[in-house]
């Protein structure tokens, strides 16, 4: 798998009893690691026994730090040198389970630097070592909004499947290129489709499955070949512009929810590598994401636990706003099969 994550981070994860603004706090511990959504995807891939290649910008002000931290990670790191400093993500984990994340924007990227980044992706694709290109995470300042659309076209020219996991302009700018699957969460999908920022989604809202299904259809009408819209602990809607499946999650003890969406993508690609397709692949992705929140490290997952959870998940189906359970309920005419849309089987 080739992972395009232009905006890597240095993650500082702080565990403390309670975050109290305006106070002097003494956390029990802080852990510094390499970070970024694509790295979490690569960690999941490594847990399943594969080594991915991750291409990112490598700001020269922190080049040595980036090299040292990524050397400790189970990915092959390809850095494209640019001026500036690496962005830092500070993650506060409270004993209550509440999580606060401060994401910095990243270095300013010039047009010639982006051209070199595209060249680096094209060079990796030309090796023939990769069957999937994952475009993951935010875009640093200066990168064009259609950046992931450009990379999608490079991937399709090389004959690989393209997965885009992004939000805001980065997601909107990829749709016209027809990525094989896009994987936003419901808030991110709503933000693109409604034309304004959506901060959060209440997972216990009974309208969530229908809203997620509607988002899947609209993302596909705008160009994505298929879409998986995740809604946290509620579940995931997956399909195309017509038929959509709903995959509920199961309750687990949450240690750290950060990176669950990235683990979803890692599980999805692993499912493809194993020969799964459509809804079957997405069920495994949901199980992988669910297993990942039981661990403190973002992207950490136990393969045996993911397979155990996958065996418990039972998708339902939608058609024209109608939903039924997979287990014995009547399927609406034309509903997506358990194998999902044929276009992802190749």
**Segment 113-158, tens digit of pLDDT:** 999 999 999 999 999 999 999 999 999 999 999 999 999 999 999 9
184 lies in the same domain as 296 = yes
The closest alpha carbon to 299, from 286, 284, 289, 307, belongs to 289
257 lies in the same domain as 317 = yes
Specify the pLDDT at position 194. Answer: 87
Is the distance from CB of 138 to CB of 170 less than 8 angstroms?
Answer: yes
Is the predicted pLDDT of residue 336 greater than 90, yes or no?
no
201 lies in the same domain as 327 = yes
Specify the pLDDT at position 346. Answer: 21
103 lies in the same domain as 239 = no
Domain membership of residue 111 as a residue range: 1-17+31-163
65 in a structural domain: yes
Pairwise CA distance, residues 10 & 65, whole Å: 9
For residue 331, give the DSSP letter: P
25 in a structural domain: no
7 lies in the same domain as 154 = yes
105 in a structural domain: yes
Specify the pLDDT at position 185. Answer: 94
What is the CATH classification number for the domain harbouring 6?
3.40.1190.20
188 lies in the same domain as 157 = no
Helices (H), the chain: 37-47, 63-71, 111-126, 147-157, 168-172, 186-194, 208-221, 260-273, 278-292, 303-310
Domain endpoint, select from 163, 190, 217: 163
Pairwise CA distance, residues 201 & 237, whole Å: 14
106 lies in the same domain as 159 = yes
346 in a structural domain: no
Is the distance from CB of 288 to CB of 265 less than 8 angstroms?
Answer: no
Pairwise CA distance, residues 259 & 265, whole Å: 10
26 in a structural domain: no
22 in a structural domain: no
| Predicted structure pTM score | 0.87
238 lies in the same domain as 137 = no
95 lies in the same domain as 132 = yes
The total number of structural domains that make up the chain = 2
24 in a structural domain: no
221 lies in the same domain as 336 = yes
82 lies in the same domain as 155 = yes
| Region for 46 from its dihedrals, namely left if φ exceeds 0, alpha if ψ lies in -120 to 50, beta otherwise | alpha
320 in a structural domain: yes
Pairwise CA distance, residues 248 & 160, whole Å: 29
The closest alpha carbon to 286, from 269, 270, 309, 308, belongs to 309
Specify the pLDDT at position 128. Answer: 96
Specify the pLDDT at position 202. Answer: 74
197 lies in the same domain as 266 = yes
């Amino acid at each position: 798998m080739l992972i395009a994550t232009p905006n890597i981070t240095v993650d500082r994860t702080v565990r403390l009893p309670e975050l109290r603004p305006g106070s002097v706090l003494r956390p029990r511990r802080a852990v510094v690691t390499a970070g970024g959504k694509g790295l979490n995807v690569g960690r999941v891939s490594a847990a399943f026994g594969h080594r991915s290649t991750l291409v990112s910008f490598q700001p020269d002000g922190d080049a040595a730090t980036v090299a040292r931290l990524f050397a400790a990670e189970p990915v092959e790191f390809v850095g494209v040198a640019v001026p500036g400093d690496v962005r830092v993500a500070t993650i506060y984990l409270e004993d209550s389970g509440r999580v606060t994340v401060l994401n910095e924007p990243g270095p300013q990227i010039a047009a010639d630097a982006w051209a070199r980044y595209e060249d680096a992706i094209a060079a990796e694709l030309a090796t023939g070592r990769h069957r999937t290109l994952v475009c993951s995470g935010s875009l640093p300042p200066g990168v064009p909004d259609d950046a992931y659309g450009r990379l999608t076209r490079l991937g399709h020219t090389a004959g690989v499947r393209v997965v885009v996991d992004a939000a805001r302009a980065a997601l909107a700018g990829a749709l016209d290129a027809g990525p094989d699957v896009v994987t936003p969460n419901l808030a991110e999908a709503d933000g693109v489709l409604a034309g304004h920022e959506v901060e959060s989604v209440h997972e216990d809202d009974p309208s969530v499955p229908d809203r997620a299904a509607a988002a899947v259809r609209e993302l596909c009408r705008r160009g994505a070949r298929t879409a998986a819209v995740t809604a946290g602990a509620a579940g995931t809607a997956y399909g195309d512009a017509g038929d959509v499946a709903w995959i509920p999650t199961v309750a687990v003890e949450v240690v750290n929810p950060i990176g669950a969406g990235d683990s979803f993508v890692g599980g999805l690609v692993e499912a493809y590598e194993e020969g799964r397709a459509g809804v079957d692949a997405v069920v495994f992705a949901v199980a992988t994401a669910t297993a990942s929140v039981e661990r403190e490290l973002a992207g950490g997952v136990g393969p045996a636990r993911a397979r155990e959870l996958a065996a418990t998940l039972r998708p339902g189906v939608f058609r024209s706003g109608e939903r039924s359970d997979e287990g014995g309920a009547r399927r609406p005419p034309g509903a997506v099969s358990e194998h999902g849309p044929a276009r992802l089987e190749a």
